[in-house]
Amino acid sequence: MPQEYINNLQTPALLLNKNILERNCQAMQQRISSFGILLRPHMKTAKSIDIYRIATKTGFGGITVSTLTEADYFVTNGVTDILYAVGIVPDKLRQVAEIISKGADLTLITDNESVISALNKSARELDLELKMLIEIDSGGCRGGVLADSEDLIALGRAIQQASNIEFSGVMTHAGHSYHCRSTDKIVSIAEQERVCVVDAAHRLQSELGLTSQIISTGSTPTATYAESFSGLTDARPGVYMFGDIDQYFIGSCQLEDIAITVLTTVIGHNKNANRVLIDAGGLALSKDISATEFSNHTGYGWVADLSGKVIDGLYVESVHQEHGLIASSDGPVLNFDRYPVGTKLRILPIHACMTVAAYEHYHVHNNQNNVIDQWSRVNRW
């Protein structure tokens, strides 16, 4: 496509700096490879075949997804080794069958013994052989069974006895690493994550004779700072490709590592409220305010000028559906003359995964802020 400067785009628009993306992907690939394990990037953030090709350029090519629509999209685009990292239920097996029929080597996960019988029955009816991982709770308290629990052994035994389900290993996600305020704490959680999943694999082997082909961990903070990956086969970080304000406070990236911004236009001044109005609201930025855990002045995103340089003290304090209101964390009266109506600004996202979900494509640009391509992404479920 012909080059154009980002200033000419209609707003709100999703911008992706290709140079930063490539640097982030290369750095994570080199780090994970240096420990002798595989990088199985989680594509739930990017949801794009173009970004997949960059993320796996020097890797083995397997990926993680969070929806079956993603799995279908990626196998249609030639990706075969896919881990669907959300607990599977029987009524989704027809969709699973369609994805497998397209050539996918699809691995599923579960943490529930009671569902195995129904899954096995549906798999027999559909003439499917399911590959299954057991999800381990390593401290995130979302999904998974505990590594030292009887539930783990009961679940392993149920899979072992199911005619159409093959045990493939164990996986976990240290989601609690997203609340860390120090590198030392991330390192500690990363080790906890590793030990839990490795111990689970050992118990299943020693008590049931089940061999784990996959022993997998996930999360960008732990993948960034873990000191050992011993006993693991792969890691599944995802947001490292883009970075965001949340990851900046956690320490997983620097501001210069944030590849995604939302281009927006100043649409008004509320001088009485000391606010600048923009055309990027809750739908364009998301209403994720997770970074407020670390700072009182992050709101719905930090403000940068058109070049991408962060403007000290400015943040999107509040949002309506299609309106955002920029405030100053320092409290002084805003210089409205500096931001006349029609001015283009860029917003650094709080949580990239949630922000990019609102868009159908990326406006891909280089370090000179020339738009060099447009990449599609897959949304919904």
Range of the domain at 368: 259-376
pLDDT of residue 153: 98
CATH assignment of the domain containing 280: 2.40.37.20
Could you read off the pLDDT of 19-28 as tens digits, one per residue? 999 999 999 9
1: pLDDT strictly greater than 50: no
Distance CA 81, CA 213 (A): 14
Q: How many domains does the chain have?
A: 2
pTM across the whole model: 0.96
pLDDT of residue 141: 85
Looking at the fold, whether 297 and 236 belong to one and the same domain comes out as no
List the CATH number of the domain containing 198.
3.20.20.10
pLDDT tens, residue by residue, 140-184: 989 999 999 999 999 999 999 999 999 999 999 998 999 988 999
Confidence category of residue 3, pLDDT binned at 50, 70, 90: low
Predicted confidence at residue 330, as pLDDT, reads: 80
76 and 150 assigned to the same domain: yes
Question: Other CB atoms closer than 10 Å to residue 365's CB: what's the count?
Answer: 24
Q: Chain-wide mean pLDDT for the chain? A: 96
CA distance 305 to 287: 22
Residues 265 and 211 in one domain: no
The Cα-based distances of 84 to 68, 96, 332 in angstroms read 7, 10, 49
Q: Which of 240, 273, 302 is the last residue of a domain?
A: 240
Angle at the Cα of 167 from the Cα atoms of 163 and 170, rounded to 5 degrees? 155
Please check the confidence at residue 251 and state whether its pLDDT lies above 50.
yes
Last residue of a domain, one of 240, 267, 285: 240
